[in-house]
Chains A and B, each alone.
Chain A
Amino acid sequence: MKSLREEFADTMLELGQEDDRLVVLVGDISHGILRPYAKACPDRYYNIGICEPTIVNMAAGLNKVGLIPVVHTIAPFITERAYEQIKLDFGYQQLSLNLVSVGGAFDYAQLGCSHHCYTDVSLMCHFHRGVVIYPGSTTEFSKLFRETYANGLINYFRLPGTGHGIEFQPEDIQFGRAIRVREGKDVTIAVVGAQLANALESANRLRLVGVDCEVLYFHTLKPFDEATLRSSVRKTRRLVVVEELSSHDGVYSMCLKACVGLGGLRTAQIAITDFLHGYGTYEELAARVGLSPEGIESAVLEVTASGAATTA
């Protein structure tokens, strides 16, 4: 199966030949898979080196003269190391770029916390002119990138190393709209990224014990589809948010904001609370923080149990 990173490279190859404003800057990653793009658009591909703040600064200069920059490297080195560059050069100066990361959360599970990134989505959502897209499949990326890359805004695409494995039809993927993957009446599971697979598996298991889960999948996190979330929770009054993001500010916060005024909610969050020290596989690190079918099942049973605490 094609990875999201490979889809990114293929999309650059196609778009680069259609739009001569597209310029790709990378921080010494993905140069192998971007070779076809580099060959097709040699004046518009630069492997700048290991200097992410300067790469982001340079993207501002490119945009200032009318080009559309795409900056690609590992998530913490774009969004955390170069955050002031994004803030001032694109936020303050009202310029536009596309940031495409890999290695969000703990995708680089064997490389340790230096290569983890839990805060990227939160940081990028702080920009009023920000767009945050977290595609879990190749179709989502190619469709949403094409629709947004030239919008004049600050676009962030977080490409997970593992896709969720669900094949949505292009017409089901609408910018800024959640996908109701499964309808249910007892509890809403709001999920992002690869965790959709675990959420669906949990929902299947829970059905066997009489719990009917509605699964909402969000590929666009800014703008966030508050209406779909709210309409679902209005029905279920129970919410479990599953996210490979910081527990301190992520999709759970967005969901609660969408639910303001709805009384009697029972909610739970499965997310990353602190640095995940140690190594292992992606699946092993995910399971350590409850990002697994068992973890989701447990959280759902907690919020659906009688007498559970309410949060809103």
Chain B
Amino acid sequence: MVLNKDLRVRIARMVSRAGEGHIPSSLSIVDLIEYLYGHVLRYDSANPNWPERDYFILSKGHGCAALYVVLQKYGFISEQDLNDCGTAAGILGGHPDMTSVPGVEASTGSLGHGFPTSLGIALGLRVQRKENRVFALLGDGECHEGTIWESANVGANLRLGNLCAIVDWNGSAAQLMPVDDLPAKWKAFGWETYVVDGHSEDEMQRLFARLKFSAVGIPKAIVARTVKGKGVTFIEGHGKWHHRIPDQDELAAIIGELSE
């Protein structure tokens, strides 16, 4: 079963129109992001800087097309913003810019930056005695970066119980580094670690319902099994589609498959 077919079509249309974007990486995480905004995060899209909001950091910034369509769905940005993606008139592009996009909490793109920044946010909230929660979405390929493991080490030792890392385990990392037992790695770093199907609303519902957050406690790592390019059979996997822009025939084929 494929969730969020409407958002998947929007991603494909937007990337096609913009001539820029990572469709498979976005299809890998769109269900996770939609679930967070639809069921987990506290926010006010009319007031994106609401001080009591939960923070969502898309550390794997190249998957931002998924974030954009979800931000549009929940009222942070407009349909016109999606239409203007990649143009000089717009605010959206191939990586997100927090200085111009409402709801974007970090200007990511260079891998390995967003996650350690989320540690600082979590620590800062605790310093201020606030109860906001922090969620960071990382790529498994991004877990090649040293700062991810510096941060895993620091986050556990600072006992950032208000922080949750979600890893998009779509098999990208294992192409180069097949020793890839991410749940074991996160557990070894001292994180409360879960594995979930990142395309299953039922599994996400059961998992997020049981997570307990606190200012001081064991941080959580959710290793989400996902499929790169999920929902479009000829895009799924790790081939040429990583950074490919569909032509009009290909776009029609994508939309056709998602309309079945």
A residues near B (Cβ < 8 Å) are 23, 43-44, 46, 48-49, 51, 53-54, 57-67, 69, 84-85, 88-89, 92-94
Contact = CB atoms under 8 A, between A and B. Distances in A.
Interface string B87-116: 000000000011100000111001011001
6 contacts: A53-B146, A53-B150, A57-B116, A59-B120, A64-B121, A94-B99
Given A51-B154, A88-B110, A93-B107, A58 B117 contact: yes
Contacts of B106: 60, 64, 93
B100 to A, nearest CB: 10
A67 B125 CA distance: 9
Contact of B116 (A23, A44, A53, A63): A53
B175 interface: no
A216 to B, nearest CB: 38
Contacts of A63: 120, 124
B252 to A, nearest CB: 37
Given A49-B154, A62-B120, A92-B99, 20 more contacts: A23-B124, A44-B127, A53-B116, A53-B147, A57-B119, A58-B123, A60-B117, A60-B120, A61-B119, A61-B120, A62-B121, A64-B106, A64-B120, A64-B121, A64-B124, A65-B121, A65-B124, A65-B130, A66-B128, A92-B97
Contacts of B120: 57-64, 69
B214 interface: no
A268 to B, nearest CB: 40
A67 B113 contact: no
Contact of B151 (A44, A54, A88, A89): A54
Nearest to A56: B116
Contact of A64 (B117, B151, B154): B117
Contact of B107 (A62, A65, A67, A92): A92
Contacts of A85: 113
A51 B113 contact: no
Given A53-B150, A64-B105, A89 B124 contact: no
Contacts of A49: 153-154, 157
Contact of A23 (B122, B127, B150, B151): B127
A92 B122 CA distance: 21
Q: Is the interface of A mostly helix, strand, loop or mixed?
A: helix
Nearest to A52: B150
Give the bracket for the number of chain B residues in contact with chain A: 20 to 34
Contact of A89 (B117, B130, B146): B117
Contacts of B130: 65
Contacts of B123: 46, 58, 61-62
A79 B74 CA distance: 40
B2 interface: no
Contacts of A48: 154
A43 B157 CA distance: 15
Contacts of A53: 112, 116, 146-147, 150
Given A61-B118, A92-B107, A54 B124 contact: no
Contact of A93 (B99, B126, B151, B153): B99
A69 B118 CA distance: 15
* 8 A-B pairs with least C-beta separation: A61-B120, A57-B116, A58-B120, A61-B121, A51-B150, A65-B124, A54-B150, A62-B124
A60 B110 CA distance: 15
Contacts of B151: 51, 54, 57
B184 interface: no
A59 to B, nearest CB: 6
B158 interface: yes
A79 to B, nearest CB: 17
B60 to A, nearest CB: 15
Interface string B31-58: 0000000000000000000000000000
Contact of A54 (B119, B121, B126): B119
Contacts of A57: 113, 116-117, 119-120, 147, 151
A213 to B, nearest CB: 47
Contacts of B157: 49
A58 B147 contact: no
Most buried by A among B118, B125, B154, B157: B154
A89 B128 CA distance: 21
Contacts of B116: 53-54, 57-58, 61
Contacts of A44: 127
Contacts of B158: 46
A43 B99 contact: no
